[in-house]
Amino acid sequence: MYAHYALHRLKILPGQLLALPRRERAFIYASIDLQIEKEKKEAAKAKRRKGKKGR
């Protein structure tokens, strides 16, 4: 999951990601987790707003 996200969103090749020092990879993985959580919350919020418009 992380390599896919890094490739498509961050434009970091999987080999480049794996070549990073352990702490840098951990930072990127944590940042990806935070971004995914943020996107999920935004999608849920948009879905709630869309449901209110239909009333």
Distance CA 46, CA 51 (A): 9
Nearest to residue 31, comparing CAs of 19, 39, 41, 43?
Answer: 39
At residue 10, the pLDDT reads 93
Q: How confident is the model at residue 27 (pLDDT cuts 50, 70, 90)?
A: very high
Instruction: Judge whether residue 53 has pLDDT over 70.
Output: no
Q: How confident is the model at residue 50 (pLDDT cuts 50, 70, 90)?
A: confident
At residue 32, the pLDDT reads 96
Q: How confident is the model at residue 55 (pLDDT cuts 50, 70, 90)?
A: low
Instruction: Judge whether residue 43 has pLDDT over 70.
Output: yes
